[in-house]
Amino acid sequence: SVLATLRGISKTFANGTLAVDGLDLDIADGEFLTFLGPSGCGKSTALRMLAGLMPPTSGTIGWTGGARPQVGFVFQEPTLMPWASVFDNVWLPLRLRHIPRRDAARSIDEALDLVGLGAFAKVYPRELSGGMKMRVSIARALVTRPPLLLLDEPFAALDEITRFKLNDDLLALKTELGTTVGFVTHSVFESVYLSTRIAVFSPRPGRIVAGIDIPEPLPRN
Ligand code: ADP
Ligand code: ADP
């Protein structure tokens, strides 16, 4: 079934840049959709509008169920609070919902287990590698168990091996949680490896020029 329906979505920034130009897109429940295209083609802007982080200049986004579901968002930088432990960083989205630390503990532990960092709750971000920081960032995005997880070039700054491992673990997570995923990348490899569908953006202005279905997930072992 359809989760979101984007119709004629455009974004012009205050400086006059037309970043996204008339996007039409349906997002299916449970799919892993990547936005693929070169830098500056409007992928990130499209993802942010989908997340509700910025409004479109024109066009509409319709949601099955009437309103945007809870969204977990992962930025290119892990954006962790350096003064807070891993545990407290993952607590943040629940804290913002006024859930006390003690009541949040179980969800936080589960989220950390999901990303393989169950043993690192008490550690501070400065003690973690880049890949681990990104895992914390993913745990933080998942701690509320959002039906929609959006990631904006999350692994772009990581070395190739770490990146490969994180790709694999993200796929496993998605399968386990059944979350719908939107993923921005300029990597053809990532888009093919991860997705059930690729939305290919043209360089300028931000437009989707092709939708590629990948019917079978690649075999994994
Ligand atoms: P991508 O994610 O594909 O790299 P972006 O969505 O980040 O592309 O950017 C699309 C275009 O919009 C680029 O030309 C970029 O410079 C411009 N842009 C992005 N954010 C802003 C902003 N806040 N103000 C003005 N221009 C912006
Ligand atoms: P603790 O981690 O000790 O339980 P908090 O999580 O409430 O306490 O905050 C830890 C420290 O980080 C406090 O000094 C608080 O003022 C600061 N802090 C919390 N949120 C922010 C924020 N969004 N921006 C800047 N400082 C913050």
Q: Is the pLDDT of residue 31 over 90?
A: yes
Amino acid 38: pLDDT: 92
Angle at 186 between CA 191 and CA 73, to 5 degrees: 75
| Minimal-distance CA residue to ligand 2 atom 26 | 81
Average pLDDT over residues 40-56: 97
- For the record, the structure tokens of 87 come out as 């545990």
DSSP for 117-163, please give it. Answer: -GGGTT--GGGS-HHHHHHHHHHHHHTT--SEEEEESTTTTS-HHHH
pLDDT at residue 221 greater than cutoff 80: no
Contacts of 156 (CB under 8 A, 6+ apart): 76, 185, 186
ipTM field? 0.72
C-alpha of residue 83 to centroid of ligand 2, in Å: 8
> β-strands 32-36, 180-185: how paired?
parallel
Q: Which residues line ligand 2 (CB under 6 A)?
A: 83-84, 88
Do residues 195 and 188 lie in contact, with contact meaning Cβ atoms separated by under 8 Å?
no
Q: Which amino acid residue places its CA nearest to atom 17 of ligand 2?
A: 83
Query: What tens digit of pLDDT does each residue of 58-93 get?
Result: 999 999 999 999 999 999 999 999 999 999 999 999
The pTM is what?
A: 0.87
Dig out the tokens for 130 from the structure: 């880049």
